[in-house]
Amino acid sequence: MKLSTFVLSSIVLCTTGVVSRPVKRDVDPNLVPPFGIQAGVNPTGTGDCDGIAGADGKPIKIPCACPPALDEFLQSLNANVNAGFVVNNPTVGLSFPTDNSKNSQNARLHAAAVTLQNLHGPGKGCPIAATTFSAQQKAIDALPNTPAPVSTSAAAPKPTTTPVQAPAPAPTNNAGTGNSPTAQQIAALAPPLGFTSGKNPTGTGDCDGAVNGSDGKPIKIPCACPPAQDVYIQSLTANVLAGKAVNNPTVKVTFPLDNSKNSQSARLTAASITLQNLNGPGKGCPIVSTTFSAQQQAINAQSDNQASSPTPAQPVQASPSASSSKAAAPSPVTTGNASGTPSADQITALAPPLGFKSGVNPTGTGDCDGAVNGADGKPIKIPCACPPAQDVYIKSLIANVQAGHAINNTVVKVSFPLDNSKNSQSARLTAASITLQNLNGPGKGCPVVSTTFSAQQKAIDAQSNVAVPVVTSKAPTPPVASSTKAATVAPVPTNNAAVNSPSADQIAALAPPLGFKSGVNPTGTGDCDGAVNGADGKPIKIPCACPPAQDVYIKSLVANVQAGFAVNKLVPLPLSPKSFLVI
């Protein structure tokens, strides 16, 4: 959502004068910032309606019930102002001064914004995009500065009904200096997540994120992301007061309280670090589960006329590998059961490759480059622990497939057919995605953008619709586990007794997927993008004819395996009934 920071940073700490007996009465409606738009504009039929225009000039979608009826909003605003904090989110303080100074206008806008965003509970209300508050904020910021004495207080002040002097920006406070922000100050200035979890669940543990990908569709995120508002605020408060990410102590955080660009960015960095290390080092929610990127862009677009303050973000050491302590996967068996469940070796052999590794270009805030570029052409950020280590992924996938459902999200079923039809390849990719996204609990794992799964699905979709028989064996002897760890070595039932070599159908079924298609972004000189990025982060160039068509690849592979050597190069290939190895 765009305003991003509501931060309406400016303010916070509405530190106003306190009288011994505050008089409670309703705010002057003439001083209440107007919504500026109406609810129910251009309903889509799915509960969404038009809000303010986004960066693309098109209306941002908002719930059709937003903004609320004015009387409902005023009732909530009056309750909050008289309480001196948001009734539905008591850690957020507010005030409603009545003079016309710049800071007082900001304070009123802040009060209206936090009331709106917490209308029905902590973080549950209407988005800022359901109003013109962001435009009003810019208009206020463009006003000449009016002098106002500094007034600080550790406690959230109670409002008065008499005019008060405008609150000045609070001094920059860093943990460890003896002048740390209070919990109320942190809650008041915490960048809003701007999104809620559980949007459009696919049934595989992932849901829509807050950010669209290059295809214009929402990037998928774990359904548990972003966290509940109280969980986020509690973790952010702990990190800020400690001066570091409690779950990743090498990452320092600061939370200055003034409204300079650097201080707003520092607060956003603290929020990002908190989010990405919520459950451990590099284990949390991706930035695309929030509007933090849009908020940062809005901050960057501000004029450089505010006093700067440091925005520290210490480099982080290499993130530890992802673990899956919650998976508790049962020890895999090496043979299929009587019902035809794939064996551990078969699952390992046909497991879609992750296609990426963790810890690429760490930012120092717990996130790293993902395998997929966003709309801006830059890698989407992911937790540095994603994707998991290969053995963790395979162990969890085997457990899920042999159970017939995601162990950590039992309502989600998985299947893992062994033939090479498009549907079966897609089913295996779905099983891998479900495993990845539920690695550490229901909807808690790694995002799909930490892998090349999307590219693999596109490659599958581009194949011709040729049905391939399921790999079965009439032999009573189950496949024997391979003694090597190579993912390309897998047990293959033998049904060519004459030469004891795999059949063409078996080879086609177990053939490692190419995972890429030819002709991507041709340069005009015979070169195209390859499937792997070089050290500069750009795709390595390959001949545009590579990789070959699927049928050409399979035909050549079958010929090589059944010949026992590379037909075009006399290199022996194993002819064991247990495995074949492509070189």
Residue 110 has a pLDDT of 92
Token pair of 46, please? 């799915």
Q: Which among 31, 220, 176 is positioned nearest to 107, based on CA atoms? A: 31
The one-letter amino acid code at 23 reads V
| pLDDT for the residue 258 | 86
Query: How many CA atoms are closer than 13 Å to the CA of 423, on its beta-carbon side?
Result: 8
* pLDDT for residue 24: 64
Cα Rg, the chain, nearest whole Å: 28
**Contact at 8 Å (CB) between 407 and 396?**
yes
The length of the chain is: 583
Residue 265, CB-side half-sphere exposure with 13 Å CA sphere = 18
Place of tokens 């998985």: 414
- Cα separations in angstroms, 501 against 19, 547, 549, 554, 568: 91, 26, 25, 16, 19
Q: Which helix (H) or strand (E) is 272 found in, with range?
A: helix 261-276
**Neighbouring-strand partners of residue 379:** 373
Phi-psi region of 570 (alpha: psi -120 to 50; beta: other; left: phi over 0): beta
- Please tell me the pTM assigned to this model: 0.34
Provide φ and ψ at 550, rounded to 5°: -55, -40
Angstrom distances, CA of residue 261 to CA of 108, 133, 507: 21, 19, 59
The predicted structure's pLDDT at residue 443? 79
Measured CA to CA, the distance from residue 371 to residue 355 in angstroms comes to 8
Comparing CA positions, the residue from 395, 368, 365 lying closest to residue 379 is 368
Task: Give, in degrees to the nearest 5, the angle at Cα 250 between 245 and 254.
Answer: 50
Contact 432, 397 (CB under 8 A): yes
CA angle 368, 369, 372 (to 5 degrees): 145
Alpha helices in 84-168 (DSSP H): 102-117, 133-141
Q: Which of 39, 35, 47 is nearest to 74 (CA)?
A: 35
**pLDDT tens for each residue of the chain, 583 residues long:** 444 444 444 333 333 444 444 556 789 988 999 998 889 999 888 888 889 988 788 889 899 999 999 999 999 999 999 999 999 988 788 999 998 888 889 899 999 999 999 899 888 889 998 999 988 888 888 887 654 433 333 333 333 333 333 333 333 344 444 468 999 899 989 999 988 999 999 888 889 998 888 888 899 999 999 999 999 999 999 999 999 999 988 888 999 998 888 889 899 999 999 999 999 888 899 999 999 988 998 888 876 644 333 333 333 333 333 333 333 333 333 334 435 789 998 999 889 999 888 999 888 777 888 888 887 888 888 888 999 999 999 999 999 999 999 999 887 888 999 988 888 888 998 999 899 888 998 878 898 889 988 888 888 888 766 444 444 333 333 443 333 333 333 333 333 434 457 888 778 777 788 878 888 888 877 788 888 877 677 888 888 889 998 888 888 888 888 887 777 754 444 444 334 433 3
The secondary structure element, H or E, covering residue 405 is: strand 405-406
Q: State residue 178 phi and psi, 5-degree precision.
A: 85, 0
Going through 10-139 in order, the beta strands assigned E by DSSP cover: 48-53, 59-63, 85-86, 89-93
Q: What pLDDT sits at residue 23?
A: 56
Two tokens, residue 552: 């050409």
Task: Tell me how far CA of residue 186 lies from CA of 73, 463, 502, in angstroms.
Answer: 25, 53, 64
Q: Could you give the CA distance from residue 547 to residue 551 in angstroms, rounded to a whole number?
A: 11
Contact 374, 214 (CB under 8 A): yes
Any bridge partners for residue 94, and if so which? none
